[in-house]
Amino acid sequence: SVYGGRVDTEPDQLLLESFVGSFFKAECYDLKFKLVETTEDDPGLVAPEGTKIGQFLQWVSELPEREPPTWLRLPPTAERVLSTHKAIRMITKIKKIKGLVDEEGVDL
């Protein structure tokens, strides 16, 4: 699952196949292969140079703590949208609980 979503629809599957296909191709072995394309908001990401484990570990340690959603070809607002949906679900649950409490006549 990516950002809380499952791959359970055809459009989701097509998006996943496109995403995976962009990495599993001959060009991914090029030294300057872009894992993430450069945009005006993001400098992108280039595959690490080197052949030793230490070089790869160094590259990994320099990655940001939180990857931008754009790295997964999601809109930059994906995290906000996910948080909004979570908040709506939480409010819905609170309203259900409040309704049950009101029906029972329980004072909080």
Q: Which residues of the chain have pLDDT under 50?
A: 1
Same domain membership, residue 70 and residue 88: no
pLDDT of residue 1: 41
CA dihedral (24, 17, 67, 34) in degrees, to 10, reads: 40
Q: Are 54 and 13 in a shared domain?
A: yes
pLDDT for residue 60: 92
Cα-based torsion angle of the residue sequence 60, 54, 24, 22 in order, rounded to the nearest 10 degrees: 30
Predicted TM-score (pTM) of this structure: 0.51
Give the range of the structural domain holding residue 92, as residue numbers without chain letter. Answer: 77-108
* Number of domains the chain contains: 2
Clarify whether residues 69 and 82 are in a common domain.
Answer: no
